[in-house]
Amino acid sequence: MAASDNSARAAERATDRVVAPPGRRLCEVVDNHGAGGYRIFSVLDALGPEPRGGQFYMLSAADGWGQRDGRPYLPRAFSVAEAQPTDHGLRLDFLVEAVGPGTERLAVLRGGEALWVTGPLGRPFSRPGELGPELAGAILVGGGIGLAPLAIWRRQLAELGVAVRTLIGFRDRAHSGGVEELFSCCEVRLASEDGHTGHRGYVTDLLGVLLEGDSARTAAVYACGPPAMLEAVREICRDRGVSAELAMEAPMACGFGACFGCAVPLAGGGYMRLCVDGPVVAADRIATALVPGSGHQG
Ligand SMILES: Cc1cc2nc3c(=O)[nH]c(=O)nc-3n(C[C@H](O)[C@H](O)[C@H](O)COP(=O)(O)OP(=O)(O)OC[C@H]3O[C@@H](n4cnc5c(N)ncnc54)[C@H](O)[C@@H]3O)c2cc1C
Ligand code: FES
């Protein structure tokens, strides 16, 4: 199937997303623990539907939000890392790296505190068969904190009977974590730039090797990570004719299409709003993953 056909097909699937209930809702924080250099916090969502992998939520703490010079004023976007039904509602897990006032506040949430939650929002990942009838497997490529949406997507793919291979890379020990907690069930091939774990180098080195085999013809690639990693994945997949979806980041003020703060240039000209047309996008739909001002550094 031609790459442009993939884009059109993915664009038509906008209705496949799980739609958020209107307004924000108050959820109880039930856990917060360290995961290497990151933290995982969990809330109970009594009213929201189960999200699909790749969707995100807008989060803000009920207390202590806007304390440092009024910042953070707006809620912050977070990919859902896992969602499991419990007797008291859906337990949502989020992986956080403290990089500024919002993430610093979320990283120190305590059990019993309240969190404002809006979501699930945005376009989720597509199943391999939706990207091409010949595609039966999946290769997940995560960089740093970008492993979060791949965790729930790996489980949902496994429940669909899809064979999944997972590649995760980190910059260094301080900017790593979450693999043991979120991928405990399965084999993960690791890479790190400082060599503290797995292959010394980039996670895209592992992807290149994997795509030398039969995987290039039978698997779709799903990636989330820093812009430079996403751009490398986009180029590798383009050069090999492999279908790929990228979960991207951009500065998001509203999260539901009203502010246009999250505009990303399209390959054919024009822009998309990443919060409603993404955050998951077909790799051949965008001009570049190197969007100014977007994304973590890994
Ligand atoms: C769809 C989506 C999903 C996300 N999922 C996660 C997640 O699972 N875990 C997580 O820790 N973070 C995630 N983020 C990023 C998080 O929302 C931002 O890092 C957030 O702005 C941080 O808020 P802050 O107040 O701590 O720092 P800010 O004051 O907003 O920023 C601090 C520093 O980080 C840079 N920066 C922060 N966020 C972004 C961004 N999105 N784009 C560009 N530059 C940025 C700023 O330039 C600045 O240097 C996600 C973002 C999006 C759009
Ligand atoms: S974040 Fe407001 S339009 Fe996308």
User: Does residue 251 have its Cβ closer than 6 Å to ligand 1?
Assistant: yes
Question: In a mutational test of the pocket of ligand 2, which residue from 74, 76, 254 has the highest number of ligand atoms less than 8 Å from its CB?
Answer: 254
Domain 25-121, architecture per CATH: Beta Barrel (2.40)
Supply the angle between the helices 203-210 and 227-240 in degrees, to the nearest 10: 10
Specify the amino acid at residue 259: C
Contact 43, 62 (CB under 8 A): no
Residue 266 token pair: 């399209």
Identify which ligand lies nearest to the alpha carbon of 77. 1
User: Does residue 252 have its Cβ closer than 6 Å to ligand 2?
Assistant: yes
CA of 238 to the centre of ligand 1 (A): 27
Give the integer Cα–Cα distance in Å for 298 and 296.
5
In order along its 298 residues, the chain shows pLDDT tens digits of 344 444 444 444 544 788 888 889 999 999 999 999 999 999 999 999 999 999 999 999 999 898 767 778 899 999 999 999 999 999 999 999 999 999 999 999 999 999 999 999 999 999 999 999 999 999 999 999 999 999 999 999 999 999 999 999 999 999 999 999 999 888 999 999 999 999 999 999 999 999 998 777 899 999 999 999 999 999 999 999 999 999 999 999 999 999 999 999 999 999 999 999 999 999 999 989 997 666 665 5
CA of 247 to the centre of ligand 2 (A): 15
* Contacts with 277 (C-beta within 8 Å, 6 or more apart), sequence order: 14, 123
- Please tell me whether the peptide bond between 279 and the residue prior to it is cis, using omega within 30 degrees of 0: yes
| All structural domains of the chain with their residue ranges | 25-121, 124-285
Domain 124-285, architecture per CATH: 3-Layer(aba) Sandwich (3.40)
